[in-house]
Each structure stands twice: as C-alpha cells, then as structure tokens.
Chains A and B, each alone.
Chain A
Amino acid sequence: MKKLLLLVLASGAALAINGGGIAAHADGIPTRNPKMRARTTAQKNGADKKVAADKKVGARALEKSLPEKPKVTELKEVGLKSLFEASAGRKRPLLVNFWATWCVPCRTEFPDLVKIRAQFAADRLDFVTISLDDVSEIATGVPEFLQEVRADAIPAFLLNADDPEAAINLIDPTWRGELPATFLFDRTGALVFIHKGRVKPLELAAAIEKTLGAKE
C-alpha cells in the first residue's frame, strides 16, 4: 500500500514538473502545456527583439567610433604610370602597397601599414595603397575594409587594369604579381626596397629611414 502511495506521489510530482513549465522550457525546449508554450514563445520573441535592438545599438556605436569611409580612386594603367612619374623628382620618397580584400595576408598586414603611416608623417613620406579587387568593390568592400582598419590617412586606389601584366612590369619586371607586395621608391623615383608577402614592420621602417636619410 505504501509502495502504491509512493508511486502515485512520484507520478504526480513528475506531472507537476512537466505541466508547470520549469525554467528550462524557456530556452527552447518545447512544453506540452499550451499556456506555458505561448508564454515562453512570447518571452523568447521579446528576448530576440531585445538582442536585435542591442545589436543595432552596438553597430551604430561602432560606426560612430570609426573614421569616415575612405574614398577609393580607380586607376587604369595610364593613371598608375602618372602616379609613379609624378613621384619621381619630388621631395618625398614613395611607398606603395599592393593588396586585395580577398588576400588574407594582405588583410593581416594592414594594421602594420597603418602604424607605418603614423610613424612617418605625410610631409616626409608619400604612401599609397593600391587594391587589386574587382572594380565592383570600389564603393563597398574595399572602403569598408579600409574604414574597419582605420586606414583613412593613406590615399587608396583600385587598379582596374585592362592588361595586369603591363601594370606589374611597370612597377617591377621581376615581380610575378603575388600579393601582398610593397615597394619603396626614393626621391629620384628609383626602386630601393621590395617586399613580397606580409611586410616586416621593423625592416620596412629601417628601409624608409635609410631612404629618408640618403643624400641625393
């Protein structure tokens, strides 16, 4: 009899737990109680809306803290040529970094490039980046990435070359087109430093210092 009583009590307790809708049900485990199901769904929807609203607030706050989206200028072969011609005979050496958003080491090295820009003022060193992304990314993917890494102080171009080979050879005939690639030209326009692959900041800074200190 005692056993029977215990069994009845145990079943009742189980039903109470199930029907009562314990907290665990609120995080998505379905309940058999229709009232509870409606209440947990409403709670969940409310929580989802709150998370979404918080996310929007976070995104807006992040956007406000970022610099303006940089303008990216399209370059054709002629423009690229004139960029180098204009740099020759000027007061400052020219540093050029070729990159693309689809190139992982290019993205990884960008914070180092931003530091290099901060280290050498614009009145001592001309520094431009040239993206090899598709031209369709000129107002979206490329500036968005530059904004994200705070590269707004570096003039940005996108090379939309009809003949990529001519562009590669214009920079350096020994270059095979691998990205990223960084080139330093002295005040006469002579190529004085080449680095293919992710830059080594100390090595690059030393090369810039050397070029800045060189008497020409």
Chain B
Amino acid sequence: MKKIYAIALLFCALALLPAFAPATRAAFAPDATTTGASIGAVIEEFKLPDADGKQHALSALKGKNGAVLIFMSVQCPVSNAYNERMVKLADEYKARGVNVIGINSNAAETPEAIKQHSSAKGITFRVLKDAGNKLADRLDAQVTPEAYFLDASNKLVYRGRIDNSRNGDAINATELRDAIDATLAGKPVAKPEAKAFGCSIKRAS
C-alpha cells in the first residue's frame, strides 16, 4: 500500500515540475500570449521589415558576438536625446561583433517617418518597423529608448536603459555597455536589468 502511495506522490510531483521550471525560451509563435522575456531566455528568430519594406531576420543582422535591440522612437524626446549615443555605441561595438538593431514599435510612426528620421539624425544602424507591436509585446518592451542585449546564442543577458542620464551630462551608470563588455570578456553581467523614465510605446489599438 505504501508503495502505491509513493508512486502516486511521485507522479504528482512530476506533473507539477513544469510549473516551477524556470522559463528558458521566449515563445514566438504568432498566437503566443507571453508577456515578456526573462533574463536568460533565448530570443527566437524573428523577421521584420526596414523602412523600405525589405525583410530582415535577426540571424542576418546580428553580429558574431550578439545583438542589441533598441526600441526607439521618431518623436520621443528621450529617445532622440540618445540618438548620438546609440550611433556611437553601434559604431564601437560593430567592430567587436555586436550589432545594434533599432526597433520602432510606435503605431503612429510610419516607415517614411523612420526613414526621414534616420537620415536627419545620422542613424547608421538598421531600424526595423514592428507593425502591430508584436515584438514589443513579446519582449514586454514598454519604453523608448529601451535596450535588449542578446549574446552570441541569442540569450537575453541585459534589458533596460542605455545609461542613467537622459541629457547625457551626468552619466555615472552605463549598464548596457557594462553588460556587453562583461559578456565579451566571458564574465557574468553584474546588473542584468535597469530602468529609466521614458516615453511609453504607443501600441496599435
């Protein structure tokens, strides 16, 4: 009788295991209802169009050592305050195998507006249009600018602000750079998440 109880308990424990297992992959099926990717989750392949409508896959745009997805905006003054810093970051880390990819999920910002903005502001990296904010929903991106750093195996190792100073005159915390540098050096990321005030991503209703 004890054996039967023990077997029953074992089955119950096995059935409950998935509920406590840590999330390791962010689901990317079109009908996925996930809300966000946890640190450590593997971000699966996605394809989005650029401002000219040409489709780009994450695998094609990422560098050999990873990619930084930055949710950005054409109109948001906070995002615009970071334009130069984003370009500098993209230029510096491209040589080290980490490519920056801009993502625009704002419903009201058209591909044409993105094209003009990139040209006017000297944005040197590719900016993709996330129509219907599907990628933003899947990664739970809420603010512009907000960065997601994926390592060489697409594992999310950092999400959050670029640095702590909106206008750039009092930068004393550079969490995104620190996360990339640590990863490139094979070290763990000391601070995998950091928040900042910013513009909300205007989602399609």
Kindly state whether residue A189 has any CB partner on chain B within 8 Å: no
Interface string of B58-77 (1 = CB under 8 A from A): 00000000000000000101
Kindly state whether residue A164 has any CB partner on chain B within 8 Å: yes
Cβ-defined partner of B195 (8 Å) among A98, A132, A164 = A164
In the assembled complex, the CB of A83 is this many whole angstroms from the nearest CB of chain B, namely 17
In the assembled complex, the CB of A112 is this many whole angstroms from the nearest CB of chain B, namely 16
Q: What B residues does A196 contact at CB under 8 A?
A: 142, 200
Kindly state whether residue A168 has any CB partner on chain B within 8 Å: yes
Q: What A residues does B199 contact at CB under 8 A?
A: 103, 178-179
Cβ-defined partner of A176 (8 Å) among B142, B167, B202 = B142
Interface string of A169-189 (1 = CB under 8 A from B): 100000111111000000000
Kindly state whether residue A27 has any CB partner on chain B within 8 Å: no
Q: What B residues does A178 contact at CB under 8 A?
A: 142-143, 197-201
Kindly state whether residue A197 has any CB partner on chain B within 8 Å: yes
Residues 99-123 of A contacting B (Cβ, < 8 Å): 100, 102-105
A177 x B195 contact (CB < 8 A) = yes
A134 x B200 contact (CB < 8 A) = no
A165 x B195 contact (CB < 8 A) = yes
Query: Which range contains the number of A residues in contact with the other chain?
Result: 20 to 34
A165 x B142 contact (CB < 8 A) = no
B78 x A164 contact (CB < 8 A) = no
B142 x A164 contact (CB < 8 A) = no
Residue of A nearest to B144 (CB): A178
Interface of B is mostly: loop
Kindly state whether residue B151 has any CB partner on chain A within 8 Å: no
A170 to B203, CA, bound (A): 26
Q: What B residues does A216 contact at CB under 8 A?
A: none
In the assembled complex, the CB of B71 is this many whole angstroms from the nearest CB of chain A, namely 11
Residue of A100, A102, A178, A180 with highest tally of chain B CB at under 10 A: A178
In the assembled complex, the CB of A108 is this many whole angstroms from the nearest CB of chain B, namely 12
Q: What A residues does B200 contact at CB under 8 A?
A: 105, 178-180, 196-197
Residue of B nearest to A198 (CB): B200
Q: What B residues does A98 contact at CB under 8 A?
A: 197
Kindly state whether residue B196 has any CB partner on chain A within 8 Å: yes
Q: What A residues does B201 contact at CB under 8 A?
A: 178
Kindly state whether residue B164 has any CB partner on chain A within 8 Å: yes
Cβ-defined partner of A165 (8 Å) among B146, B166, B167, B194 = B194
A179 to B164, CA, bound (A): 17
Residue of A nearest to B194 (CB): A165
Residue of B nearest to A197 (CB): B200
In the assembled complex, the CB of B101 is this many whole angstroms from the nearest CB of chain A, namely 20
A168 x B197 contact (CB < 8 A) = yes
A164 x B197 contact (CB < 8 A) = yes
Q: What A residues does B78 contact at CB under 8 A?
A: 102
Q: What A residues does B195 contact at CB under 8 A?
A: 164-165, 168-169, 175-177
Residues 139-184 of A contacting B (Cβ, < 8 Å): 163-165, 168-169, 175-180
Q: What B residues does A176 contact at CB under 8 A?
A: 140, 142-143, 146, 195
Cβ-defined partner of B198 (8 Å) among A105, A134, A179, A197 = A179
Interface string of B93-104 (1 = CB under 8 A from A): 000000000000
Known contacts A176-B142, A176-B146, A178-B142; is-contact A165 B196 (Cβ 8 Å): yes
Excluding A102-B78, A179-B197, A179-B198, 6 further A-B contacts by CB distance (< 8 Å) are: A164-B197, A168-B195, A168-B197, A176-B142, A178-B142, A178-B143
Can you report 22 A-B residue pairs in the complex whose CB atoms are below 8 A from each other?
A98-B197, A102-B77, A103-B199, A104-B75, A105-B200, A164-B164, A165-B161, A165-B164, A165-B195, A165-B196, A169-B195, A176-B142, A176-B143, A177-B142, A177-B197, A177-B198, A178-B143, A178-B197, A178-B200, A178-B201, A179-B200, A196-B142
